[in-house]
Each structure stands twice: as structure tokens, then as C-alpha cells.
Amino acid sequence: MRFSGLGLLPCLMVTGAALADPSGPVSLPGNGLGPLAIGQPASQRILALWDIDVRADGQGLPAGHGSVRQGEALFGARCAACHGAQGEGASADRLVGGQGSLATGKPVRTVGSFWPHATTLFDYIRRAMPYDAPQSLSADETYALSAYILHLNGILPEEAELDAASLPKVRLPNRDGFTANIRPDVPAHASQAPLTGITAPR
């Protein structure tokens, strides 16, 4: 312990210098709201920009709507370069097909064959795609792209349109294909238990 005071000193000096940096407050890239100074309370508007998760049951889905046909045009322009013209995969994941293959020796895991919830498709596209410009899509565009990918998978008809009410009702083929966590050191239904309910291995 007798070294700690000496060891801390250079660090504190560096930190102090950084805080006193005249180049000004830290800004969040790309939120268009200007600088967010350290210690400045985050406004509801700033929080809303980060609060974009959509849960399996559809909680968090925004207003808006989009159709399979709108999604088809968008997919060609924004997604096909990496995922293939029909979602068959290119440099990035295949998004279509594989239904019925999961229990075989060569399972093909796609949004259509493997994912349990259609709402997760919306959540994923909204936060992460297109890979080269994440979070650049509007809610309408994200509904349309979700609808188109579900259509390519044979889950929605060509004339379908999705919104916050209809998307959670779309049932994916592998919805019931997941099993409970069977690790002996984790209690059953750990995902619903508070963190304190998880026991350490003995």
C-alpha cells in the first residue's frame, strides 16, 4: 500500500490535464443535438435516441408501417450488395431459407428457419443494419424490410404490410424450437429470475 500514493500521482495529473483541455465538452457522434457536457443531465430526447430496444412481445415498437413491396425496393438498394438479391447470402449472412434443416446434419440457420421472434428482426435491422450505415433507416423502412424478409421466407404474403400491432402476431416456424437452459449450475427459468437468484457453481 505504501506505493499507491506515488503510483496514483502521475495518473491524477494526466486526468486533470484532460479535464482542463480547452477543446471543450465531449459530444455524442451523430445525434445532431450538439455537445453533451460532462455532468449535464441527459434530456428525454437524448435518452429516446438510445432507447430503441424492441422486445419479443413487441414492446418498444415505434409507430409506422411498411409493406413487402416497399421492402423489396429498399432491400435491393440497401441490403442486396451484402446479403444477395434474394437474401440468399453473399459476403454477409444468408437471410432466407433453411426451414426444416435444423434437425439435419447440415442445419441452415436463417432469420426464417432459426430465429424465434419476428420482432427481433425489426430490432436487429433497426439497430445494426445496413452494416455500413447503422440506424440510418426510418421506422417505416424498417417495417418494410422486415416484411420483405419475412415474405422471402414464405412467412408473409406479397401484399402484406406490417406495423406495431401486426408484427408481434407473426409467428416464426422455430418459435417453439428452443429448450430451457439445462446447465446444472443455473436454476430453471434463470432468465426470469433476478440476478441474485443465480447461484455459483459448488
Footprint of ligand HEC (CB under 6 A): 78-79, 81-83, 92-93, 95, 110-111, 121, 124-125, 129-132, 145
Nearer to ligand HEC, 77 or 192 (CB): 77
Nearer to ligand HEC, 171 or 189 (CB): 171
Distance from C-alpha of 39 to C-alpha of 36, rounded to nearest angstrom: 9
Residue 163 burial (10 A CB sphere; 0-12, 13-18, 19+): middle
Nearer to ligand HEC, 153 or 168 (CB): 153
Nearer to ligand HEC, 55 or 189 (CB): 55
Tell me how far, at minimum, the Cβ of 152 lies from ligand HEC, in Å.
Answer: 11
Tell me how far, at minimum, the Cβ of 131 lies from ligand HEC, in Å.
Answer: 3
Tell me how far, at minimum, the Cβ of 33 lies from ligand HEC, in Å.
Answer: 25
Half-sphere exposure of 121 (CA within 13 A, CB side): 30
Q: Looking at this protein, which amino acid is placed at residue 42?
A: A
Is-contact 57 119, C-beta < 8 A?
A: yes
Tell me how far, at minimum, the Cβ of 25 lies from ligand HEC, in Å.
Answer: 32
Largest CA distance in the chain: 74
Residue of closest CB approach to ligand HEC: 79
Distance from C-alpha of 151 to C-alpha of 147, rounded to nearest angstrom: 6
Tell me how far, at minimum, the Cβ of 194 lies from ligand HEC, in Å.
Answer: 29
Nearer to ligand HEC, 93 or 185 (CB): 93
Nearer to ligand HEC, 53 or 93 (CB): 93
Tell me how far, at minimum, the Cβ of 2 lies from ligand HEC, in Å.
Answer: 47
Is-contact 113 101, C-beta < 8 A?
A: yes
Half-sphere exposure of 1 (CA within 13 A, CB side): 0
Distance from C-alpha of 84 to C-alpha of 152, rounded to nearest angstrom: 12
